[in-house]
């Protein structure tokens, strides 16, 4: 039952800039190569998990909240938040609050292949709970001076084994197994 953190990152470890913009990612020539990688990955996923900033980013950037269902189908989307965020009709969003370890049994009931989309600290919370099996990062040829960190934990090489790598145009996709 793998739990996989899969995200696009700058070369120096940011998921988004300080204003939560991903324009640097969309500006990479052939950024569709990275999107194609994510689309292929999604076919093997049953359940999606994200933090509230990521959810709000999606709501602000999709043409409508219902486009969540276009992007992610009927997969449950678990959103970690301490707030009473809107859940729109026709979407499969479930709000969840509190420690990952407590929420995990309910999340696992909704599918065995789980995509932790981000942000980085939420992926770190899954790691802390011993519930991160794989990390896949699509590295963009970009450095940012600051931003939202990709995985703000100390995880040394004894915990990570490289199991796959491939070039996607200007990007490199790296997959590590977490020991
Ligand atoms: N490059 C990529 O592939 C990629 C992937 C994912 C995200 N992103 C972007 O990266 C940025 C990530 O933002 P972020 O670092 O703020 O992370 P985030 O995980 O999207 O959101 C963090 C927020 O989620 C809530 N939360 C987290 N853990 C929780 C828990 N255990 N219980 C309850 N609530 C919890 C908290 O907010 P509240 O409690 O106040 O709601 C917290 O401030 C966003 O701009 C996103 O769009 C990029």
Which atom number of ligand 1 is nearest to the Cα of residue 20? Answer: 45
| pLDDT in the model for residue 43 | 96
Query: Mean pLDDT across the stretch 81-101?
Result: 97
Q: For atom 14 of ligand 1, which residue has the closest CA?
A: 119
* Ligand 1 centroid to residue 160 C-alpha, Å: 23
Would you say residue 1 has pLDDT above 80?
Answer: no
Q: For atom 29 of ligand 1, which residue has the closest CA?
A: 80
Coil, strand or helix at 1: coil
| pLDDT in the model for residue 33 | 87
Percent of the chain beyond pLDDT 70? 99
47-51 and 77-80 as β-strands: parallel, antiparallel, unpaired? parallel
| pLDDT in the model for residue 162 | 98
Would you say residue 28 has pLDDT above 80?
Answer: yes
Judge: domain 5-178, CATH 3.90.1150.150: no
- Strand segments, DSSP code E, in the chain are 3-9, 14-16, 47-51, 77-80, 93-96, 114-118, 134-139, 148-149, 160-168, 171-178
- pLDDT for 116-134, tens place per residue? 999 999 999 999 999 999 9
Terminal Cα distance for the chain, rounded: 14
Is the preceding peptide bond at 119 cis, omega within 30 degrees of 0?
Answer: yes
Which atom number of ligand 1 is nearest to the Cα of residue 148? Answer: 15
- Answer whether 151 contacts ligand 1 (Cβ < 6 A): no
DSSP type of residue 144 = -
Average model confidence (pLDDT) across the chain = 96
Task: Tell the residue number behind the tokens 């977490």, with chain if given.
Answer: 178
* Ligand 1 centroid to residue 123 C-alpha, Å: 9
Query: Mean pLDDT across the stretch 78-98?
Result: 97
């Amino acid at each position: 039952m793998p739990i996989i953190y899969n995200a696009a990152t700058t070369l120096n470890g940011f998921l988004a800039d300080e204003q939560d913009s991903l324009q640097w990612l969309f500006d990479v020539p052939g950024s569709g190569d990275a999107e194609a990688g994510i689309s292929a990955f999604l076919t093997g996923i049953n359940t999606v998990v994200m933090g509230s900033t990521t959810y709000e980013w999606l709501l602000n950037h999709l043409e409508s909240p219902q486009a969540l269902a276009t992007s992610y189908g009927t997969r449950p989307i678990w959103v970690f938040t301490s707030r009473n965020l809107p859940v729109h009709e026709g979407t499969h969003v479930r709000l969840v609050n509190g420690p990952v370890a407590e929420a995990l049994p309910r999340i696992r009931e909704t599918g065995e292949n789980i995509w932790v989309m981000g942000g980085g600290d939420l992926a770190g919370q899954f790691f802390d709970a011993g519930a991160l099996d794989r990390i896949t990062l699509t590295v963009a040829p970009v450095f940012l001076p600051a931003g939202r960190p990709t995985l703000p934990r100390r995880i040394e090489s004894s915990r990570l084994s490289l199991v796959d790598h491939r070039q996607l145009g200007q990007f490199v996709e790296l997959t590590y197994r977490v020991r």
